[in-house]
Amino acid sequence: MPVVSFWDKRYNIKRNMKKILLIEDEELIIKLLGKKLAGVGYEVALAMDGLEGIEKMKKIVPDLVLLDIVMPRMGGFEVMAEMKKDSGLAKIPVIIISNSGQPLELEKAKRLGAVDWLVKTEFDPKEVVEKISKYINRAD
Amino acid sequence: MNQNLKIKISDVPRPLRPAVAAKDEVAISGIQKQGDIPRKNERKNDEFCELDEVRGQLEETRSVMEIRINAKTKELRDQAEDLEKQIKERTGELQKKIEESENSRMALMNMLEDMEDLRRRAEEEKEKTLAIITNFTDGLMLFDSVDRLALVNSQMGLFFGVGKEDAKRIIGKKIADFGEVVGFKPLVDLLGGDLTKIARKELFISEKAVFEVSLLEISGQRNKVGVLLIVHDISREKMVERMKTEFVSIAAHQLRTPISAIKWTLRMILDGDLGPITEEQREFLEKTYKSNERMINLINDLLNVTRIEEGRHLYNIVAADMTVLVQSLIVNYADIAKQKNLALDYEGPVEIIPQVKIDVEKMKLVVSNLIENALKYTPAGGKISVSIGQKDDGVLVTVRDTGMGISAEQTDRIFTKYFRASNAVRMETEGTGLGLFIAKNIVETHGGKIWFDSREGKGTVFCFTIPSAEADSILQ
């Protein structure tokens, strides 16, 4: 059952929709958040790990990245470090969504350019959407 | 002839008496045989009478004498018995005296033996004590009454990598002059070359060499005899502590992953994002959602405790206004108070209060914990008042309730980790017993104090102070 509108399914895209790239390895979270974001009018692209995330990012240049920290192959911090190296990606706002939230990690993320950090247990999808709208407008 | 017969029987020696009597018999019978001469016989009859009389007298005398003899014999026997008794008594006395002196001798011998034993034992004890000191698993340094090193054991050398010869070089010196033996430098630095501050401190050299250094004053009857410096290896405890903390931290993080997935799913179902649900389904799902939230809180508490134990729970220290922080929380809890039919009042400071340097998130945790406790343990119809004021040069926050209170015998355990008062458990089964422990640690790390006053069945008031930003707090 397609619960999210994948970037690849171009026929679904409206030109003025904001693009959000969700980089997250947990399937349930992907499905839930993807559905929520699509439901409120965002175009959502998905990546299951950091490497895939960077690849997709370069291809679609999203308006915002939702990024998990602990992932296989490439973690969230490395993704941010890669983004910093690429001038085309460096300015994209990144919101971290993680199960952790240690002060040291928060500091590191801030240093690497993340605009916000959400601990999954403290937020729900609705609040994630609210946070996102703080950084981008849903549609121009 | 009569004359011949008139002998006293007592004059005759006893063995001859029957012979005398027999001769009489013979004499008498001889006379009777000559009885054929009548004239002679008449005379003889007279003689017989006389003889009988004499014999009677003699018998009488004899019995009298016998009685006398018996009496005398008895008297003599009594005397002899008396004498014997006296001798016995005297002998007994003497015996007793001999025994007594023997006992004294034995006692003296024993005392001598005991003395010897004591001396030997004292010697042994001395040797033992010395053996204990030299072979003790703690490092020991004994300083005399003027703070000069009198004794150092080998363990001390092992801990600080100082050889025996080097360790001997500092004997008789004061701690400030230990510097020439490089290994002891961390120890000298820690104590500041001073033995007057009797204390217990932690000395971290490496992860495998963490020590607890204690200074103990040894006092005699009246004055100071010396100072004992004890270095105890706590590397293993520290490692276990670290592993425990890491374990809890990892477990808590691992638990968060599925729990957040559950939370998000439930929220989206409840928000209608996944299609319509019936009223009954909603009711169950709401309850499930609440249970899950409790689990999240529990994990958060556990994580907070591990952070406190790791000593890394304060990070974002900023200057802030306590009234803003408290007011925002009061607003957050207004709905819950209303639902529980409790009045939740706020009373601001009379004068402008100074700013405080705090980790805002952590301070929110303190105030929320106190307000949540008040909400939890105050029966419906009760009142909770939160106020802010100034105390000394700090900010004072007070949370007062009309709740069930804390029983007097449990007051000293109230800030202990995992402790829950028995009446609190009866009223509300849920709870980790970590809230006040966390609150106390956060307040104290900010250089503040937390305390409470309570009367069971009447209510409780919790207060805490945070030094003002101008005041020199430990955070700088």
Mean pLDDT of chain A: 84
Tell me what pLDDT residue B69 has: 94
Confidence band for B104, pLDDT divided at 50, 70 and 90 = very high
Tell me what pLDDT residue B182 has: 83
Tell me what pLDDT residue B14 has: 60
**Location of structure tokens 């020199």:** B472
**B442 min Cα distance to partner chain A (Å):** 15
Vertex B348 angle, CA B355 and B414, to 5°: 80
**Spatial separation of the C-alpha atoms in residues A92 and A82, rounded to whole Å:** 12
**Spatial separation of the C-alpha atoms in residues B408 and B205, rounded to whole Å:** 44
Nearest CA to B432 out of B305, B251, B265, B258 is that of B305
| Inter-chain CB proximity A120 and B260 less than 8 Å | yes
Per residue in B227-274, pLDDT (tens digit) is 889 999 999 888 887 787 777 777 777 888 889 999 999 999 999 888
For B110, other C-beta atoms within 10 Å of its C-beta total 11
Which of A56-70, B81-95, B178-192 shows the lowest per-residue confidence on average (mean pLDDT)?
B178-192
Residues of B whose CB is below 8 A from A120:
256-257, 260, 263-264
Per residue in B158-214, pLDDT (tens digit) is 888 888 888 888 888 888 888 778 888 888 888 877 777 767 888 888 888 899 998
Per residue in A72-118, pLDDT (tens digit) is 888 899 999 999 898 888 889 999 998 887 777 788 888 888 999 99
Say if residue B315's pLDDT is above 80: no
- In sequence order, which residues have a C-beta less than 8 Å from that of residue B274 and are 6 or more positions away? A35, B268
**Spatial separation of the C-alpha atoms in residues B207 and B239, rounded to whole Å:** 8
**Spatial separation of the C-alpha atoms in residues B417 and A76, rounded to whole Å:** 35
Say if residue B286's pLDDT is above 80: yes
Per residue in B30-55, pLDDT (tens digit) is 445 444 555 666 677 888 888 888 99
Tell me what pLDDT residue B198 has: 66
Mean pLDDT score, B317-345: 89
Tell me what pLDDT residue A11 has: 42
Residues of B whose CB is below 8 A from A129:
none
Give me the torsion for CA of B157, B159, B161, B165, rounded to 10°.
Answer: 0
What residue type is assigned to position B245 of the chain?
T
Per residue in B114-169, pLDDT (tens digit) is 999 999 999 998 888 888 888 888 999 988 888 888 888 888 888 888 888 888 88
**B461, B384 in Cβ contact below 8 A?**
no
Nearest CA to B437 out of B384, B370, B378 is that of B370
**Spatial separation of the C-alpha atoms in residues B450 and B397, rounded to whole Å:** 9
**Spatial separation of the C-alpha atoms in residues B243 and B233, rounded to whole Å:** 17
Confidence band for B468, pLDDT divided at 50, 70 and 90 = confident
Mean pLDDT of chain B: 83
**B370 min Cα distance to partner chain A (Å):** 20
CB-based contact (8 Å) between B318 and chain A? Answer: no
Confidence band for B2, pLDDT divided at 50, 70 and 90 = very low
Nearest CA to B175 out of B201, B197, B159, B158 is that of B197
Which DSSP string corresponds to B268-288? HHHTTTT----HHHHHHHHHH
Residue B272 zone, left/alpha/beta (φ > 0; ψ -120 to 50; rest): left
In the sheet that holds B209-219, the strands lie side by side as B149-152, B139-143, B224-233, B209-219, B200-206
Whole-prediction pTM: 0.53
